[in-house]
Amino acid sequence: MMETSTTPIWELRDIIIEAGATDIYKCYQCGKCASVCPWYQTEAVNFPTYKFPLAAQLGRIASSEGKEELAREVEEVYRCVGCEACVEQCPQGVNIPNTLRAVRRILVDYGSYPDTLKPVVSKIHNVGNPLGEPGEKRRDWAKDLAIPLFQPGMEYLYFPGCFPAYDPRLRKVATSTAKVLKKAGVSFGILGEKEWCCGEAIRRAGAEKIFQEAAQSNISAFRNAGVKKVVVTSPHCYTTFKNEYPLLGADFEVFHITQLFYQLIEEGKLKPHQLSQLPELGEPNDSKSQRAKDPIKVVYHDPCTLGRQNGIYEEPRGVLKNIPGLELLEIGDFSHQFALCCGGGSGGLWLDWPKGERMADIRVQQAIETGAKVLAVACPYCLQMFEDSVKTMNLGLKVMDIAELLAESL
Amino acid sequence: MDIVVCIKRVPETAEAEIKVDSSGKDILKERLTFDINESDNYALEEAILLKEKRGGTVTLISVGPPECEDTIRMGLAKGADQAIRVSNEGFGELDGFATAEILKNTIQDLSYDLILTGCMATDDGYSQVGPTLAELLGIPHAVLVTKVDLQDGNARVERELEGGLLEALEIKLPALFAIQTGINEPRYASLIAIRRAAAKEIKVLNAQAIGLERPTLRTRVENLFPPPVGKRAEILKGGAEETSKRLAQIYKSKGII
């Protein structure tokens, strides 16, 4: 390994700050960030979280001369999953994911970023979703449910997001959601073809221009359709709609689906029934009558973007607690603001780190140790990351979205 | 060792939804992203590796509109020393020969030991520019090159043949090699190099400057169209279990498995 120079490059510091790393001088190197960074849970990776603000102050990020060392540095810049565990703990209010995002913006402008992310950015620009699926198929998930297109006068626009609209597994989350909303008599419609990727993941991966384009496309589609309230499946859509789109001219209210579910239960519009054993769990058939009375042990994983970043901890739990026959468990020390990231954020979903470098592998292990049979999530990224881990590790754990569990109980 | 690398900015079409425009002769590009042509990126990396080993300079040349300068700057950030953009304004439609002619007129006044190009452009797939340029300049060439080893006045190269064979050649310099993908691992550009590249001059030449008012156009695109669906294509319908069973049956019946 080449020795990394620490001679300051002031002009580089200036462009990193200009690209958005505005709070780097608040860092006093206490290292609290490192104590909560999910990379510290993986054995194979050394990711010194605390070094980035100082490295940015010195203009010494992704600036090595040597080809191999530079490749390692760029990879490091792309390791941050934007879970914001460090932001939550920092006594000085330094946003390290933001610092790295500033660096990514400069790299992306010059095409100097991981090849696996390039098709994702291209596809969003090309057809409006990271899967590269045609826009006219965006409504296909709702075909059998007769979900209408959004019309003025409807209360909510349901925005399933890209994966629940296209991915065969995630479509079950969208259809479950629609079934629940119909059952509760909620007035809602969808945008279908006019829905575009929210752009949250690629913005965090550094592709600012394509994010801006995606945001403007959605903002004008919502405005033209007369949308006032949007309810979303993905916390990633939620956070960018709620915290970022308003700065770009958006004028609508946004709700995460678990917030609406909880409200509907509170209002008595949804009355979950006893949840019988889930057939997919592969429970043995013996002493059936006894088993049917046992509650299903479900452990809830807080998605970083929903919990830490938007403070929504109680509504998802409130929904689960209101399903009879379901016992809600917690992952001891790694719950609520200390939840361990699935690794899917900020482009992580597409980076495909090797075994030993996957946060999701650690998280599903934590879930299994609680004795749970079901790992409940409220985010399409988490669901994908955890299902991959459960499959590759061959674990007896079912990963389900809260919408799927709720739909089962109605 | 002075190396000239010819690069092309191409739309990313591999996984994109492609639509033919109203002229019927080109594709709609508004919703496509652009990047350096894949094999050109390997040619660029090979040039930088050779420069690192033996010293000298790397000069980039690209023919195209001002947007090409994004691609050129990326090359400068990775380690090229200077760059020329030949403006395509006034040239109209260009085919492989016409592009080679433009490049020949641009390069003939430069001093060079080696010219590297990619082996094929991913947009038109012609694979013509490299060999045609070499012929026009009267220098030897090799295509689908997978290894370059420079000696004094000579180069030993390996190139791909069909059937998994490699051919080793000794070629007198100056020469042109059309580089195959996979010959090396293209590098990232560092932040500081990106910063420096932003300030580097890109020389812009026009038809008059290279003394070529009208390149020779020998082919013209008549129209573009998606290929008709073959008669023997069969779309399997049904769930994963059903279709995979049917697929296995077909494979078995054809003796594939």
ipTM: 0.88
The count of CB pairs under 8 A between chains A and B is 83
The whole-number average pLDDT for the span A169-174 is 97
Q: Quote the strand ranges of A146-197, DSSP E.
A: 156-159, 188-189
Q: What is the pLDDT of residues B198-229, one digit of tens each?
A: 999 999 999 999 999 889 899 999 999 988 87
CA distance A124 to chain B (A): 9
* CA–CA separation, B228 and B146 (whole Å): 35
Q: What topology is assigned to A116-260 in CATH? A: Glutathione S-transferase Yfyf (Class Pi); Chain A, domain 2 (1.20.1050)
**What are the phi and psi torsion angles at A49 (to 5°)?**
-45, -45
Nearest CB to A119; choose among B15, B77, B187: B15
Paired tokens of A121: 């950015």
* CA–CA separation, A392 and A394 (whole Å): 5
Under the banding of pLDDT at 50, 70 and 90, the label for residue A11 is: very high
Is the bond preceding residue B174 a cis peptide, omega within 30 degrees? yes
Q: What is the pLDDT of residues B93-127, one digit of tens each?
A: 899 999 999 999 999 999 999 999 999 999 999 99
HSE-up of residue A367 (Cα within 13 Å, Cβ side): 34
CA closest to B19 among chain A residues: A126
Residue range(s) of every CATH 3.40.50 domain in chain A: 271-408
Q: Quick one: pLDDT at residue A316?
A: 98
Q: How far from the centroid of its chain's Cα atoms is residue B217's Cα?
A: 20
Please report residues of B whose CB lies closer than 8 A to that of A71: 187-188
A107·B31 Cβ contact <8 A: no
B195·A122 Cβ contact <8 A: no
CB A347 within 8 A of CB A204: yes
Please report residues of B whose CB lies closer than 8 A to that of A75: none
Nearest CB to A126; choose among B16, B78, B192: B16
Under the banding of pLDDT at 50, 70 and 90, the label for residue A2 is: very low
Nearest CB to A122; choose among B16, B188, B191: B16
CA distance A265 to chain B (A): 35
Amino acid residing at A162: C
SS (H, E, C) chain B: CEEEEECCEEECCCCCCCCECCCCCCECCCCCCEEECHHHHHHHHHHHHHHHHHCCEEEEEEECCCCHHHHHHHHHHHCCCEEEEECCCCCCCCCHHHHHHHHHHHHCCCCCCEEEEECCCCCCCCCCHHHHHHHHHCCCEEEEEEEEEEECCEEEEEEECHHHCEEEEEEECCEEEEECCCCCCCCCCCHHHHHHHHHCCEEEECHHHHCCCCCCCCCCCCCCCCCCCCCCCCCCCCCHHHHHHHHHHHHHHCCCC
Please report residues of A whose CB lies closer than 8 A to that of B35: 111, 118
Q: What residues form DSSP beta bridges with B155?
A: B150, B171
* CA–CA separation, A380 and A238 (whole Å): 12
A116-142 in b/e form (b: 16+ CB < 10 A) is ebbbbbbbbbbbbbbbbbebebbbebb
CA distance B12 to chain A (A): 7
CB A255 within 8 A of CB A315: no
* CA–CA separation, B37 and B18 (whole Å): 17
* CA–CA separation, A265 and A288 (whole Å): 30
**Matching residue, tokens 């997978």:** B146
Under the banding of pLDDT at 50, 70 and 90, the label for residue A286 is: very low
Q: Quick one: pLDDT at residue B230?
A: 77
Q: Quick one: pLDDT at residue A172?
A: 97
Rg (CA), chain A: 22
What is the longest distance spanned by two Cα atoms in chain A? 72
- Higher pLDDT: B151 or B45? It is B45
Structural domains of chain B, with CATH: 2-210 (3.40.50.620)
* CA–CA separation, B115 and B155 (whole Å): 12
Nearest CB to B194; choose among A64, A112, A127: A112
B188·A70 Cβ contact <8 A: yes
* CA–CA separation, A329 and A320 (whole Å): 10
A62·B191 Cβ contact <8 A: yes
B187·A70 Cβ contact <8 A: yes
A379-401 in b/e form (b: 16+ CB < 10 A) is bbbbbbbbbbbbeeeebebbbbb
CA distance A137 to chain B (A): 13
Nearest CB to A11; choose among B14, B77, B195: B195
Q: Say if residue A245's pLDDT is above 80.
A: yes
Nearest CB to A12; choose among B17, B187, B192: B192
Nearest CB to B33; choose among A103, A106, A121: A121
CA closest to B11 among chain A residues: A122
Please report residues of B whose CB lies closer than 8 A to that of A17: none
Note the CATH architecture for domain A271-408. Answer: 3-Layer(aba) Sandwich (3.40)
Helix (H, G, I), strand (E, B) or coil at A403: helix
Q: How far from the centroid of its chain's Cα atoms is residue B186's Cα?
A: 14
A110·B36 Cβ contact <8 A: no
SS (H, E, C) B132-201: HHHHHHCCCEEEEEEEEEEECCEEEEEEECHHHCEEEEEEECCEEEEECCCCCCCCCCCHHHHHHHHHCC
Rg (CA), chain B: 21
A61·B191 Cβ contact <8 A: yes
Q: What is the pLDDT of residues A329-340, one digit of tens each?
A: 999 999 999 999
Please report residues of A whose CB lies closer than 8 A to that of B78: 112
- Higher pLDDT: A282 or B142? It is B142
Helix (H) or strand (E) holding A261: helix A257-266
What is the longest distance spanned by two Cα atoms in chain B? 65
CA closest to B188 among chain A residues: A112
Residue range(s) of every CATH 1.20.1050 domain in chain A: 116-260
CB A205 within 8 A of CB A194: no
**Average pLDDT score, chain B:** 94
**Average pLDDT score, chain A:** 94
Under the banding of pLDDT at 50, 70 and 90, the label for residue A44 is: confident
A110·B16 Cβ contact <8 A: no
Q: Say if residue A297's pLDDT is above 70.
A: yes
